[in-house]
Amino acid sequence: MVATTTLKAMTTEDKNLSSLQGDTTPFTDRIGILGAGRAGTALARAAATVGVPVNIASSRSPSQMKYHLAQYAPQATAVAAKDIGTDVSLVVLMVPQDDLDDVDPESLAGLTLIDATNRWDDMPLPIWLEDGQSAGLSSSEVIAEHFHSSRLVKALNHISHWDLDSDSSTRQAQQRALAVASDHKAEAVLVARLVSTLGFTPVLVGKLAKGSLLEPEGEIFNQVLSVAQLRTLLHES
C-alpha cells in the first residue's frame, strides 16, 4: 500500500532528482560550521564520528570558545567567523535567524552554503527576511537572495540537535530521510553526499521554494520519516 502511494507520488521531476541522488561517494572534505551552539556543536560531533573534519566559528573569538568547544565539540577546529569560508568546501549556517544581519555575506562569497536556520515563534527577524517572507517567499529563498554570492542549499534544518547527535549506528538503522532543496543541482548533490555520509538518507526535493515545507510549521519538521513517508508528505502539502 505504501509502495503504491509512493509510486503515485513520484513525478518526473522526482525521478530525475532520484537519479541525481544516486551519488553515494563518501564526503570527506573539511566543512565550516557558522554557529557553535546546540545545532552547530551537534553537527560537529556527528561529523567527527564519520571522519569529516570541521572548522567552527561563533560570535566569539577562537580563544573565547576554547573551553566551550573542549566540552561540546572537542574535535572541531575553532576559527574566527570572518574566516569560516577558508579552506572548506561548504559552510553550514547554524546561527539564529535574528542574528543574520551580523553575518557578512562577503565572508561566504563563492561558497556552497547550507541554510539550516529556522524561525522560532515570534522571533524578530531582520527586515529583509521579514519583508521577503511577507511577499510569499520561503525563508531560504530570501536568505539565498541576501547571500547572493553563495550557492544556497536548504538542509539539516528539520532535524533536532538531539537527533543529529544520535550515535551513527542508530542513524544508519533508522534510515531517516532528510530533505535537500536548492536551485543549484551540483551543490544539492554535494550536500546530499554529506547528509548520506552523516548516516541519513538524503532526498532531493527540488528548488528552494519547496524549503517552506521543511519549516517549523510543516508536518515534516522534527519527524523521523522514511524516504517514502517524506515524499508522500511533500506531495500532499
Footprint of ligand NAP on this chain (CB under 6 A)? 34-40, 57-60, 81, 94-97, 99, 102-103, 116-118, 157, 160-161
Residues sharing a CB contact under 8 Å with residue 34, sequence separation 6 or more, in sequence order: 40, 57, 81, 84, 91, 92, 93, 94, 95, 103, 108
Q: Which residues pair with 92 in a beta bridge?
A: 33, 114
List Cα–Cα distances, 235 to 11, 229, 230, in angstroms. 9, 10, 9
- Residue in the shown chain whose Cβ atom is closest to ligand NAP: 37
Q: Which residue has the cell 519549516?
A: 215
Closest approach of Cβ 70 to ligand NAP, in Å? 14
Closest approach of Cβ 164 to ligand NAP, in Å? 7
- Measured from the CB atom, is 36 or 190 closer to ligand NAP? 36
Closest approach of Cβ 174 to ligand NAP, in Å? 17
Closest approach of Cβ 1 to ligand NAP, in Å? 32
- Measured from the CB atom, is 5 or 222 closer to ligand NAP? 222
Q: Residue 26 gets which letter from DSSP?
A: P
- Measured from the CB atom, is 44 or 192 closer to ligand NAP? 44
Closest approach of Cβ 60 to ligand NAP, in Å? 4
- Measured from the CB atom, is 12 or 63 closer to ligand NAP? 63
Residues sharing a CB contact under 8 Å with residue 207, sequence separation 6 or more, in sequence order: 181, 182, 183
- Measured from the CB atom, is 37 or 53 closer to ligand NAP? 37
- Give dist(CA 106, CA 25) in Å, integer: 30
- Measured from the CB atom, is 35 or 206 closer to ligand NAP? 35
For the chain, what percentages of helix, strand and coil (3-state, to nearest 5) are there? 45, 15, 40
Closest approach of Cβ 20 to ligand NAP, in Å? 24
Cell triple for 108: 561566504
